[in-house]
Amino acid sequence: MSDCWSSYSCLSDEGFKHLTVNHSVTFVDPDTGAHTNAIKGTWSALKRSLHGTNHVTGEFDAYMAKYIWRRQNNYRITEKVQRFFGAISRAFPLPNKD
C-alpha cells in the first residue's frame, strides 16, 4: 500500500499487489481500504529507535533487520533466544554431508 506517487506505479508490473490511496482526497481508499498508517507508524518507530545512537554509514539494512526482529520477538528472553537461533539456522542451513 502506498500513496499515489508516480514512482510506485511500476510495482504492479513487478508482480506486487499494489493498493494506493490518494491523500489529496482521503486517508483511506473507500473501495479497497488501502491506507499508509501502518507503514508510516513503523518508519516513525524505526527512526526513533535510531535516534541518539552511533550509526555506521551503509548499515541501515542491519539496523532495520534488528528493529524488525525485536518487534516480532517481543517475548520472554528464553523464547527470544530460541527464536534467534531458529532464525539463524534457517538463514544459514548446514551443508549436506553428501
Q: Is residue 20 within 8 Å of 33, Cβ to Cβ? A: no
pLDDT at 64: 86
| Residue 96 to residue 28: CA distance in whole angstroms | 50
- Residue 16 or 50, more confident: 16
Cell numbers linked to 76:
520472554
- Quickly state the pLDDT bin for 79 (edges 50, 70, 90): confident
- Domain residue ranges in the chain: 1-34, 43-97
> Can you name the residues that pair with 3 across neighbouring β-strands?
21
Q: Tens of pLDDT along 5-41?
A: 889 889 989 999 999 999 889 999 999 999 998 888 8
Cα(first)–Cα(last) distance of the chain, in Å? 45
Q: Is 0.85 topped by the overall pTM?
A: no
Whether pLDDT at 98 is above 60: no
pLDDT at 30: 92
